[in-house]
Amino acid sequence: MLQLHKYLRIRGALVPHLFPFSPPPLPPPPLTTTTKILRPLSLSLPSPSTVKMSSLSQSAPPPPQPPVAKKVEKPMESFGDVRVDSYYWLRDDSRTNPEVLSYLAQENDYTNSIMAGTKEFEDQLFKEMRGRIKEDDTSAPKRKGEYYYYTRTLEGKEYVQHCRRAVSDSKTAPSVHDVMPTGLEDPPEHVILDENVKAQDHQYYSIGTFKVSPNHKMVAYAEDTKGDEIYTVYVIDVETRELVDKPLTGVTGYVEWAGNGALAYITMDEILRPDKDIQLFADHLVVHERENGLPKITAYHLPAVDEPLTSLQGGKTIDFIDPVYSADPVESQFHSSILRFSYTSLRTPRSVYDYDMNTGTSVLKKIDPVLGGFDASNYMTERKWATASDGTQIPISIVYKKDSVKLDGSHPLLLYGYGSYEICIDPTFKASRLSLLDRGFIFAIAHIRGGGEMGRQWYENGKYLKKKNTFTDFIACAEYLLEQRYTSKEKLCIEGRSAGGLLIGAVLNMRPDLFKAAVAGVPFVDVLTTMLDPTIPLTTSEWEEWGDPRKEDYYFYMKSYSPVDNVKAQNYPDILVTAGLNDPRVMYSEPAKFVAKLRDMKTDNNMLLFKCELGAGHFSKSGRFEKLQEEAFTYAFLMKALNMIPTLGSGQSSL
């Protein structure tokens, strides 16, 4: 029978717990005031087909008025300091309060009304983005023992199929030159799991992990059907697809098989991340590290078993061609000299390579196809450095279309940032982004402190009582791009999600004059109130990132930057804020309160839109085409703010 291991990670330490076969199912945590679990709300909205689209004219009706949230003062005191939260009532952990749901519905209705005139253009963007996708495609097959494993996408389908084929000659050793045979005489394809079938009865569907057992007879996969990141783990027979044992409920999406066939599932918080990672093979050691803010992969040959390993010398470092890029390991086999890795850049679609560690030879196994005449050589990527207020050099990754962009300040630019949890926002390709670049946009990533791009100290200098470095670094990057005439204040847009949404909220309060438009996705903006509430499950672990505001110095430092606490009576740029009603990481009430307070205090007539989705979690909707629709909406908002929406039937706008 199946043996199960549970691993708990407590501040980075893995503590094993052994369960006998067939443990009792773990119930998911209740959605009460102790949960920090919410998801986007998309309540009943006017059908787009009922909204007439027309350009502005003298006969145009007056613009719709935004909803105004009522004020119910809730005083909160710490260290003799009294804060008054007038919108605390918007927090409803049951997500059933009619008054709260009504307010969110009004915000969605208002957003739809303001964006009604862009619906045709939004549809055009979506069709454009979808048209670049090869809908019927397969991933790079990975040989494991006697089988090739891969995923397949089907035309018109949102999700993938997990498949395998038997190796024709299993006695042949794996090689970087292996090609999976697909002829009629070759072993047939076997579909292990079809996510499209599994997702039929769910508004949201996501597979967290899909792992084949060492003997290739079972598969363990973690399933989330709400977007709340509370997974159920199923173990099925590969051939029959029947359940092998009872599902494990209320766990994370991390699953792994042990060598003896036991199944381990993991609950963890990823607060601490190392500067380096390693992959161990029978005869090689691969070191993944960073140099000048970019990934570096080096393979070392290990000495014989009876020889001591005293130092690493003579390693082979893989060379990459773009000035800014991302390179990550892909699962490889221990008894093999083949390292598989993925490579991408701001202009290079995701590419999978097999690297022979004995010869130093790389073989391209798969590059994601981009339809519509895409040519990577038409785009320019750059690495620039901005100077922060304390003199620190901050890297910026940039991409734009060569022939259509002149660095004279006339082009729109979208600056993206994150800067928390030691997460590296490496430059990666996104086919949908071409809809911006081909319209003259420049896209840039600010690799600010608080992230992990430049090593451990880079992270340490952007957390706790140094968190404001994250915000001032981003402002420095924006000012650099303005000074170098990549764009102008009238055309500079910014975007960030989650902790990156905190970044956007903070810099909007600090320097709203720098930006034309901002997108704050599921933003963590009520930092102080959330971090003062230990009943929220993530709060105590999040003290490792932000600090504990029950200590006076942390309290006042957090208060000085928490976006909700620092909204001012001043002009703000056009702003789009998104949220998720069942998001487990950022409570929907945080962005809701931020928007309500902005509506009450800002002194301009610029757009302030709040879009709350019902059928998704922190990572938005689950289907690949649904995600494109969300991006099309965001891009339409940015272009509306920039007055770049074309007249109906005229095609693309000009700058």
Question: Is pLDDT at 182 greater than 90 in this prediction?
Answer: no
Catalytic residue among 583, 589, 620, 622: 583
What the block records as the tokens of 88 is 């605390």
In this predicted model, which residue has the larger pLDDT, 604 or 303? 604
Question: Is pLDDT at 116 greater than 70 in this prediction?
Answer: yes
Q: Report the mean per-residue pLDDT for the chain.
A: 84
What pTM value is reported for the model? 0.76
Q: Which of 166-175, 317-326, 599-608, 635-644 has the lowest mean pLDDT?
A: 166-175
Q: pLDDT > 90: what percent of the chain?
A: 56
Catalytic residue among 284, 288, 411, 618: 618
Q: Which of 137-141, 319-323, 383-387, 586-590 has the lowest mean pLDDT?
A: 137-141
Average pLDDT for 481-510: 98
Please state, in angstroms and rounded to a whole number, the distance separating the CA atoms of residues 2 and 16: 17
Q: What is the pLDDT of residue 39?
A: 32
**CATH 2.130.10.120 is held by the domain 1-25+134-272:** yes
Please state, in angstroms and rounded to a whole number, the distance separating the CA atoms of residues 485 and 400: 14
Q: Cβ distance 418 to 503 under 8 Å?
A: yes
Q: What is the pLDDT of residue 626?
A: 83
Q: What is the pLDDT of residue 649?
A: 57
Q: For tokens 């009304």, what's the residue?
A: 113
Q: Cβ distance 491 to 642 under 8 Å?
A: yes
Q: What is the pLDDT of residue 192?
A: 92
Main-chain phi, psi angles of 148, to 5 degrees:
-100, 130
Q: What is the pLDDT of residue 14?
A: 33
pLDDT digits (tens, 9 = 90+) for 393-425: 999 999 999 988 999 999 999 999 999 999 999
Q: What is the pLDDT of residue 47?
A: 38
Average pLDDT for 101-108: 94
Q: Which of 56-65, 441-450, 540-549 has the lowest mean pLDDT?
A: 56-65
In this predicted model, which residue has the larger pLDDT, 361 or 564? 564
Q: Do domains 1-25+134-272 and 273-371+379-487 have the same CATH topology?
A: no
Q: What is the pLDDT of residue 183?
A: 79
Q: What is the pLDDT of residue 203?
A: 76
Average pLDDT for 372-377: 95
Q: Please name the helix (run of DSSP H) or strand (run of DSSP E) that holds residue 640, with its range, or none.
A: helix 624-641
Average pLDDT for 593-615: 94
pLDDT class for 382, splitting at 50, 70, 90?
very high
Please state, in angstroms and rounded to a whole number, the distance separating the CA atoms of residues 153 and 369: 13
Q: What is the pLDDT of residue 561?
A: 99
Q: What is the pLDDT of residue 620?
A: 53
Length of the chain: 655
- What is the DSSP secondary structure assignment for residue 318, as one 8-state letter? P
pLDDT digits (tens, 9 = 90+) for 553-602: 999 999 999 999 999 999 999 999 999 887 667 899 999 999 999 999 99
Question: Has 548 been annotated as catalytic?
Answer: no
In this predicted model, which residue has the larger pLDDT, 629 or 619? 629
Question: Has 498 been annotated as catalytic?
Answer: yes
Question: Is pLDDT at 179 greater than 80 in this prediction?
Answer: yes
Q: pLDDT > 70: what percent of the chain?
A: 82
What the block records as the tokens of 114 is 């303001």
**List of residues 6+ apart from 307 with CB closer than 8 A:** none
Q: What is the pLDDT of residue 57?
A: 43
Main-chain phi, psi angles of 298, to 5 degrees:
-130, 130
pLDDT class for 41, splitting at 50, 70, 90?
very low
CATH class of the domain at 273-371+379-487 = alpha beta
In this predicted model, which residue has the larger pLDDT, 107 or 226? 107
The domain spans of the chain are 1-25+134-272, 273-371+379-487
**List of residues 6+ apart from 88 with CB closer than 8 A:** 72, 74, 529, 593
Q: What is the pLDDT of residue 247?
A: 86
pLDDT class for 170, splitting at 50, 70, 90?
confident
In this predicted model, which residue has the larger pLDDT, 245 or 362? 362
In this predicted model, which residue has the larger pLDDT, 195 or 260? 195
Average pLDDT for 13-24: 32
Question: Is pLDDT at 513 greater than 60 in this prediction?
Answer: yes
pLDDT digits (tens, 9 = 90+) for 427-473: 999 999 999 999 999 999 999 999 999 999 999 999 999 999 999 99
Q: What is the pLDDT of residue 163?
A: 92
pLDDT class for 180, splitting at 50, 70, 90?
confident
**List of residues 6+ apart from 277 with CB closer than 8 A:** 287, 288, 289, 329
Query: Across 428-559, where does the E strand assignment appear?
Result: 442-446, 492-497, 517-521
Of 587, 609, 588, the residue nearest 598 (C-alpha): 609
Q: 480-485 long-range CB contacts below 8 Å, 24 or more apart?
A: 480/384, 480/386, 480/387, 480/396, 481/386, 481/396, 481/413, 481/415, 481/444, 482/409, 482/514, 484/384, 484/407, 485/407, 485/408, 485/409
Catalytic residue among 42, 498, 562, 620: 498
pLDDT class for 264, splitting at 50, 70, 90?
low
Question: Is pLDDT at 502 greater than 70 in this prediction?
Answer: yes
